[in-house]
Amino acid sequence: MMKVLHVAAEIFPLVKTGGLADVVGALPQALIAQDTDVRLLLPGLPAILDSLADLRGLCDIGPVFGAARVQLLQARMPGSQVPVYVVDAPYLFRRGGNPYQDSSGREWPDNTQRFALLGWVAAHLAAGELDPLWQPDILHAHDWHAAMACAYVANHPPTPARTVYTVHNLAYQGLFPREDFHFIGLLARFTATSALEFHGQLSFMKAGLKFADRVTTVSGSYAREIATAEFGCGLDGLIRSRGAAVRGILNGVDYDIWNPETDPGLAANYGADSLERKRLCKQALQQAFGLEARPDALLFGVVSRLTAQKGLDLVLGGITHLLELGCQLVVQGNGDPALEAAFTYAASIHPGQIAVRTAYDEALAHRVIAGSDALFVPSRFEPCGLTQLYALRYGCLPVVRCVGGLADTVVDASEANLQADRATGFSFRDASTTALSIAVDHAVALYAQPERWQQVQRRAMAQEFSWNVAAQAYLALYRELLPPRPA
Ligand code: ADP
Ligand code: GLC
Domains of the chain, start order: 3-252+468-481 (3.40.50.2000), 275-464 (3.40.50.2000)
- Contact between 478 and 2 (Cβ < 8 Å): yes
Q: Residue 15 gets which letter from DSSP?
A: B
Measure CA of the first residue to CA of the last residue in the chain; give whole Å: 16
Alpha carbons within 13 angstroms on the beta-carbon side of residue 256 total 8
Ligand 1 pocket, residue 306 CB under 6 Å: no
What's the pLDDT at 483?
A: 84
Alpha-carbon distance 461 to 301, whole Å?
Answer: 17
* Dist. CA 169 → ligand 2 center (Å): 6
Testing ligand 2's pocket by substitution, the residue of 168, 172, 226, 392 carrying the most ligand atoms inside 8 A of its CB is 168
CA of 19 to the centre of ligand 1 (A): 6
Report which of 267, 449, 279 is spatially closest to residue 373, judged by C-alpha positions. Answer: 279
Closest C-alpha residue for ligand 2 atom 5: 19
Q: Which atom of ligand 1 is nearest to the CA of 333?
A: 23
Instruction: Kindly state if the Cβ of 405 falls inside 6 Å of ligand 1.
Output: no
Cα distances from 180 to residues 65, 67, 110, 185, in angstroms, run 11, 15, 9, 10
- Distance from C-alpha of 249 to C-alpha of 310, rounded to nearest angstrom: 21
Cβ neighbours of residue 171 under 8 Å, at least 6 residues apart?
A: 233, 309, 381
- Compute how many other C-beta atoms are within 10 angstroms of the C-beta atom of residue 191: 16
- C-alpha 360 to ligand 1 mean position (Å): 9
CB-CB neighbours of 133 under 10 Å: 6
**Ligand showing the shortest atom-to-Cα distance for residue 12:** 1
Q: Tell me which residue of 377, 367, 374, 334 sits closest to 258, measured CA to CA.
A: 367
Q: How far is CA 178 from CA 119, 174, 183, 188, 238, in A?
A: 18, 12, 10, 11, 19
CA dist 49 and 93 (Å) reads 10
β-pairing, 354-357 vs 328-335, is: parallel
Instruction: Return the best residue to mutate from 140, 215, 218, 249 for the ligand 2 pocket (most ligand atoms within 8 A of CB).
Output: 218
**470 CB near ligand 2 (under 6 Å):** no
The 8-class DSSP code of residue 36 comes to: -
Helix, strand, coil: what percent of the chain each, to 5?
40, 20, 35
Residue nearest to atom 12 of ligand 1 (CA): 18
Q: Could you tell me where the DSSP H helices lie in 128-167?
A: 143-155
Note the helical H segments in 403-449: 404-409, 415-419, 433-447
Centroid of ligand 2 to alpha carbon of 470 (angstroms)? 15
Q: Are strands 67-76 and 56-64 parallel, antiparallel or unpaired?
A: antiparallel
On whether the CB atoms of residues 207 and 119 are closer than 8 A, the answer is yes
Whether the model pTM is above 0.85: yes
Contacts of 109 (CB under 8 A, 6+ apart): none
Q: Tens of pLDDT along the chain (487 residues)?
A: 999 999 999 999 999 999 999 999 999 999 999 999 999 999 999 999 999 978 999 999 988 887 779 999 999 999 999 999 999 999 999 999 999 999 988 999 999 999 999 999 999 999 999 999 999 999 999 999 999 999 999 987 788 999 999 999 999 999 999 989 888 988 888 889 999 999 999 999 999 999 999 999 999 999 999 999 999 999 999 999 999 999 999 999 999 999 999 999 999 999 999 999 999 999 999 999 999 999 999 999 999 999 999 999 999 999 999 999 999 999 999 999 999 999 999 999 999 999 999 999 999 999 999 999 999 999 999 999 999 999 999 999 999 999 999 999 999 999 999 999 999 999 999 999 999 999 999 999 999 999 999 999 999 999 999 999 999 999 999 999 998 777 6
Instruction: Using most ligand atoms within 8 A of CB, pick from 23, 386, 408 the residue to mutate for ligand 2.
Output: 386
> What is the helix (H) or strand (E) element at residue 70, kind and residue range?
strand 67-76
* pLDDT for residue 487: 67
Q: How far apart are CA 38 and CA 77, in angstroms?
A: 12
**What pLDDT was estimated at residue 147?**
98
Residue 99 CA to residue 44 CA, distance in Å, equals 10
Q: Is 179 in the pocket of ligand 1 (CB under 6 A)?
A: no
Give backbone dihedrals phi and psi of 214, rounded to 5 degrees, phi first: -135, 145
C-alpha dist (Å) from residue 349 to 281, 317, 345, 409: 25, 15, 6, 35
CA distance 456 to 398: 11
Cα-to-centroid distance, 368 and ligand 2 (Å): 20
How far is it, in rounded angstroms, from Cα 204 to Cα 196?
Answer: 7
